């Protein structure tokens, strides 16, 4: 979706005979929006679609039911209290969801033991901590703290960790892409966009191709919130080459180029990715508004058709007290929200902020899961009362 990439060997023309070492290669068209959207064409040594066995595993173990409970309130979830362990895909816990997006947290300590594929949506994995590599039929990506890792829907992959991870995972039930307004009519990212083509890291092509990665032939596939396990006859990574615009990428959050105005600009300037029914925004260290009387801290506001989720990664968030690394707050439609006491006033005259956070604004209400309720900090909705900490950590 960023731009066209080619790795390995491909024939001069699609859909024509392509012989490799005397054997006809098998073309595999990986398409979106039917056949009208972005696509990638892979060339496999052997038939990529032969399945030997399939097995139904039931609901994803981390996908607990979501439901609203109690009065409408601003909520604070202490995700570091979620248990650590397990694999990135099977060990993740659903925190919040609506029809458009699922918000998951994973704290894996082990690699994915099979290939995995998310048939329910694109994944945008924000790496809060941990390092490792993503292996897939298109190549290898390395990730480290502060990276967004984008994985296209239904692409088989596995994560291999060199350090335990702490991931925020956004599952876009339609597609996740860069916002359309950041492109010129030729499809390039505009010079005024908050990033350039060079900021998106492509999968590296291993010497000898992805077949050298020794991938399992078993894929654990998520569809309708349920897991199936399929064993393919041939290595899903036996790819000779590919070209196209559907590929996983790494985008380091610190490559986001923030904008600053004379006076405060709305949060939309932080928009980084867009999905159907939601946007993802990046708050990165930056110079703040420069009018002598500017109030750099966000003004109280009622966004009457947006639920707002913020994942706090690092630094001192300008408008909040009582939140720590990996805190997640949910400010729902229907309530005004704004800075904690003292933050509004204290921001006047400041020149910089060191906050690092990811925000998700959704246009349909989000519902919390049992996992979210288990780690909710009591009293957050009252934590704006001056002089009281409302039970949130400080
Ligand atoms: Fe807001």
Interval between CA 302 and ligand 1 midpoint (Å): 7
pLDDT for 387: 52
| pLDDT of 390 strictly over 50 | no
| pLDDT of 22 strictly over 80 | yes
pLDDT for 391: 36
Total domain count, the chain: 1
pLDDT for 64: 86
At residue 320 the predicted structure's pLDDT band, cuts being 50, 70 and 90, is confident
Interval between CA 75 and ligand 1 midpoint (Å): 13
Interval between CA 389 and ligand 1 midpoint (Å): 20
- Can you tell me the distance from the alpha carbon of 187 to that of 179, in angstroms, rounded to the nearest whole number? 12
Residue 321 in any domain: the answer is: yes
Interval between CA 337 and ligand 1 midpoint (Å): 6
Interval between CA 186 and ligand 1 midpoint (Å): 34
Range of the structural domain that residue 301 is part of: 253-382
Interval between CA 84 and ligand 1 midpoint (Å): 30
| Minimum mean pLDDT range among 183-197, 202-216, 276-290, 341-355 | 341-355
Interval between CA 308 and ligand 1 midpoint (Å): 6
| pLDDT of 32 strictly over 50 | yes
Interval between CA 299 and ligand 1 midpoint (Å): 9
Residue 341 in any domain: the answer is: yes
pTM of the model: 0.96
- Supply the mean pLDDT for the chain: 94
Nearest to 105 by CA among 134, 121, 83, 122: 83
Interval between CA 303 and ligand 1 midpoint (Å): 7
Which residue is associated with the tokens 């604070």?
76
Interval between CA 366 and ligand 1 midpoint (Å): 15
pLDDT for 342: 86
Q: If you average pLDDT over residues 179-199, what whole number do you get?
A: 97
Specify the CATH number for the domain of residue 278.
Answer: 2.60.120.10
| pLDDT of 28 strictly over 70 | yes
Summarize pLDDT for 276-296 with one digit per residue, the tens.
Answer: 999 999 999 999 999 999 999
Residue 161 in any domain: the answer is: no
Max intra-chain CA distance, the chain: 77
- Can you tell me the distance from the alpha carbon of 145 to that of 206, in angstroms, rounded to the nearest whole number? 23
Q: If you average pLDDT over residues 109-127, what whole number do you get?
A: 98
pLDDT for 272: 98
Residue 306 in any domain: the answer is: yes
Residue 215 in any domain: the answer is: no
Nearest to 356 by CA among 263, 250, 258: 258
Residue 350 in any domain: the answer is: yes
Nearest to 257 by CA among 238, 237, 272, 236: 272
pLDDT for 198: 98
Tokens coding 10:
């491909």
Phi and psi angles of residue 372, each rounded to the nearest 5 degrees, phi first: -65, -45
Interval between CA 301 and ligand 1 midpoint (Å): 6
Residue 320 in any domain: the answer is: yes
Residue 267 in any domain: the answer is: yes
Half-sphere exposure of 299 (CA within 13 A, CB side): 9
| pLDDT of 389 strictly over 60 | no
Q: If you average pLDDT over residues 60-78, what whole number do you get?
A: 92
Interval between CA 280 and ligand 1 midpoint (Å): 13
């Amino acid at each position: 979706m960023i731009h066209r990439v080619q790795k390995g060997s491909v024939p001069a023309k699609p859909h024509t005979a392509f012989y490799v070492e005397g054997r006809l290669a098998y073309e595999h068209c990986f398409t979106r929006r039917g056949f009208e959207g972005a696509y990638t064409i892979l060339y496999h040594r052997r038939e990529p679609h032969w399945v030997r066995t399939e097995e139904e595993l039931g609901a994803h173990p981390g996908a607990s039911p979501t439901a609203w409970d109690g009065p409408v309130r601003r909520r604070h979830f202490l995700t570091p209290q979620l248990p650590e362990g397990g694999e990135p895909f099977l060990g993740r816990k659903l925190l919040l969801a609506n029809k458009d997006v699922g918000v998951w947290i994973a704290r894996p300590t082990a690699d994915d033991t099979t290939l995995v594929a998310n048939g329910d949506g694109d994944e945008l994995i924000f790496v809060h901590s941990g390092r490792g590599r993503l292996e897939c039929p298109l190549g290898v990506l390395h990730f480290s703290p502060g990276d967004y890792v984008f994985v296209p829907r239904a692409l088989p992959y596995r994560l291999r960790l060199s350090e335990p991870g702490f991931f925020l995972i956004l599952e876009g039930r339609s597609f996740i892409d860069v916002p359309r307004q950041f492109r010129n009519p030729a499809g390039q990212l505009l010079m005024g966009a908050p990033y350039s083509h060079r900021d998106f890291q492509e999968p590296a092509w291993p010497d000898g191709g992805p077949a050298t990665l020794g991938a399992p032939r078993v894929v654990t596939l998520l569809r309708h919130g349920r897991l199936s396990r399929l064993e393919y006859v041939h290595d899903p990574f036996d790819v000779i080459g590919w070209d196209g615009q559907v590929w996983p990428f790494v985008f380091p959050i610190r490559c986001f180029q923030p904008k600053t105005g004379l006076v405060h600009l709305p949060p939309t300037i932080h928009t980084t990715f867009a999905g159907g029914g939601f946007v993802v925004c990046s708050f990165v260290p930056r110079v703040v508004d420069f009018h002598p009387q500017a109030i750099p801290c966000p003004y109280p506001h009622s966004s009457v058709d947006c639920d707002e989720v913020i994942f706090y990664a690092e630094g001192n968030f300008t408008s909040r007290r009582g939140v720590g690394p990996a805190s997640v707050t949910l400010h729902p439609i229907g309530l005004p929200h704004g800075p904690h006491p003292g933050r509004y006033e204290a921001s006047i005259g400041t020149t910089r902020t060191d906050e690092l956070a990811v925000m998700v604004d959704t246009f349909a209400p989000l519902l919390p899961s049992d996992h979210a309720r288990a780690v909710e900090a009591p009293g957050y909705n009252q934590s704006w009362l001056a002089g009281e900490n409302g039970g949130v950590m400080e």
